[in-house]
Chains A and B, each alone.
Chain A
Amino acid sequence: MYVAVKGGEAAIANAHAWLAEERRGDASLPEVGTDAIREQLTLAVDRVMAEGSCYDPDLAALAIKQARGDLIEAIFLLRAYRTTLPRFGASAPIDTGAMTVRRRVSATYKDLPGGQVLGPTFDYTHRLLDFALAAEGLTPPAAAETDPGEDAAPPRVTGLLAAEGLMAAEEASDAEPGDLTRTPVTFPAGRPLRLQNLARGDEGFLLSMAYSTQRGYGNNHPFVGELRQGDLAVCFTPPELGFEIEIGDLVVTECQMVNQFHGSRTEPPQFTRGYGLVFGRTERRAMAMALMDRALRAAELGEDVEAPAQNEEFVLSHSDNVEATGFLEHLKLPHYVDFQSELESVRAMRAAVEAERQRAPAQAAARQFETEGAGG
């Protein structure tokens, strides 16, 4: 007689052993090192750090290796590690205006103070597979370098617009921002929590939602005011020292989208800001975040809230890929208890219909005729 599957313990151990073997792949080939991942798969490392909410390239590289390159799995690993870390305090706010830029472009001005700096970008490459890369041992020649001099920390483009009164001012606030990793979000969440959520939201989700605003679901006329990428110092004041010290460097990407705003009864027409700031060089997510920030400001700016991208609760509740993938994949877990009760419920309903048919076959036939008649 067949009896329900037993031996979960042994099955799990065997599955994990197989997984470890699959992860290693062909053992006659050299194993990929975490340092190689950190140095050569930098954009994957950046994405894992951004969505894992943890700036540590070495741990991100380890997570990518352990996850066999599945970035969402790697993000999950890093998040689960991060959550166990004690918190010593909060750093001083970083100043992106003081950033040493490696890349800085503006779509709104042809030239501007500080100039356009393309930096290491895929933009303007022809997407042709480079078969020479398949051959190993080629070290590319060093790229030409110029000393940026005083242009190393250029002024922000949105600052130039603001000086002319064309940029809507942001309300300054000294309020302590919330922390969505410690306090559950309630709605309306407000902009600081929205930005926190977007900064670690799934890149694909942000991209698609932002794209939907460009296609008319949520009115939006964005320009890239400025996109800048580079290094920043992180400063912290330990209570026992009482003065600020530098504790490390971050690579970040900041995007400021400039959007038209027709004005209201109380405000003249001007531009409004959509803001994106992310760990690493993940430019696509910085841009998507900026579009989404602006879309989610619809209610605040008195615009109609009609599209999904403008719906704060919808966007914030579904952006996190660790939450989403866990819940989606939990459908693999057994559900046979629930399914059994569904089975009994459907059988009971069918039995009731059958009993009625037995009791009054003529009536049932008449009703069937009516239904068919109505259909014809």
Chain B
Amino acid sequence: MSGYNFAYLDEATKRMIRRALLKAVAVPGHQVPFGSREMPLPYGWGTGGIQVTASVIGADDTLKVIDQGADDTTNAVSIRRFFARVAPGLRTTERTAEATVIQTRHRIPETPLREGQVLVYQVPQPEPLFRLEPRRAETRRLHALADYGLMQVKLYEDIARHGRVGSSYDHPVMVNGRYLMSPSPIPSFDNPKMHRSAALQLFGAGRERRLYAVPPYTEVRSLDFEDHPFVPLRANGRCSLCGAGDSYLDEVVTDDRGGRIFVCSDTDFCTERQTMREAAE
């Protein structure tokens, strides 16, 4: 697309975002304010993630974009097409193993990430405490004091009332033993994948104008209690397409008489397994 710089943002803006990212990497889990720009896609649809991707990507990178784990969901298609338009030379892929940068909404790929890969999360609400304390001036103070009693009490109340922690996604994590962080609305099933991941994890919240990061091999613990340890949740079933019994599953309703099947939410993981199975037969 003519008239726009490589990856849409001008170089000065990208440099500003990279400086904020360096700070974020230096203080894992800490929310760094940044001068978020208006993007040609709406707020809430991945503007933070897009700005982070635009700032770290180069013409020799290979980009994968997923939404709900899948490469073919409309918003993932739209973001991938956006980068194909504004970043000439950039290669795109649907394969997790081939990608150097993966932008995601709501999932972490099933295939373990390796060193050198960057996982960029789209974050709707970077403040993990916002439901308990809406005033950001106050939550900043709580983070500064590492005062996370509010969240501990909330988890305790969930357990007392329901016998289990109520948050099934966006379950808060402690990063490097210091900052409470929102993992973005990934299912709690994905939380353990963040712990000591070999990949660099970057988080962008465009509307809220915050960036944060988890450097490779950083400790990421889901908040819990000794006598009520964190338990990730998945549907009890196997994928109808590839037979996986350990992946995160989407439920697909097949008729109006209660019929349903489960399929992998990670389309690349599922396709790989199907190809391998066919090759074996």
Contact = CB atoms under 8 A, between A and B. Distances in A.
Interface of A: 1-4, 6-9, 11-12, 76, 79-80, 82-84, 86, 181-188, 313, 317, 322-323, 325-330, 333-338, 340-345, 348-349, 352
Nearest to A356: B163
B107 A326 contact: no
Contacts of A342: 168-169
Contacts of B207: 323, 326-327
B250 A329 contact: no
B45 interface: yes
Contact of A80 (B39, B164, B188, B240): B39
B89 interface: no
The 4 closest A-B pairs by CB, nearest first: A326-B43, A330-B44, A326-B42, A184-B209
A325 B42 contact: yes
Nearest to B47: A326
A325 B207 CA distance: 11
Given A329-B42, A330-B42, A337 B169 contact: yes
Interface residues of B, number: 67
Contacts of A352: 163-164
Nearest to B13: A83
Interface stretch (B22-30, B65-73, B112-120, B192-200): B65-73
A86 B136 contact: no
B188 A341 contact: yes
Contacts of B251: 336, 340, 343
Contacts of A2: 252-254, 261
B167 to A, nearest CB: 9
Nearest to B185: A338
Interface stretch (B74-82, B174-182, B219-227): B74-82
B106 A337 contact: yes
B254 A12 contact: no
A84 B209 contact: no
B187 interface: yes
B252 A3 contact: yes
Nearest to A77: B40
B258 to A, nearest CB: 14
A84 to B, nearest CB: 7
Contacts of B42: 76, 322, 325-326, 329-330
Given A83-B38, A313-B137, A340-B187, A12 B78 contact: yes
A16 B235 CA distance: 36
Interface in B7-49: 8, 10, 33-40, 42-45, 47
A326 B10 contact: no
Binding site of A, secondary structure by majority: helix, strand, loop or mixed? helix
Given A80-B40, A348-B233, A8 B35 contact: no
A322 B43 contact: yes
Given A186-B33, A345-B233, A7 B250 contact: no
Contact of A8 (B74, B137, B166): B74
Nearest to A73: B42
A323 B43 contact: yes
B156 interface: no
B37 A337 contact: no
B187 A338 contact: yes
A75 B47 CA distance: 17
B75 A340 contact: no
Nearest to A6: B72
Contact of B45 (A4, A187, A326): A326
A329 B44 contact: yes
Nearest to A184: B209
A86 B67 contact: no
Nearest to A78: B38
A11 B78 CA distance: 11
Given A1-B254, A327-B43, A337 B68 contact: yes
B248 interface: yes
Contact of A341 (B37, B70, B233): B233
A184 B17 CA distance: 13
Contacts of A317: 136
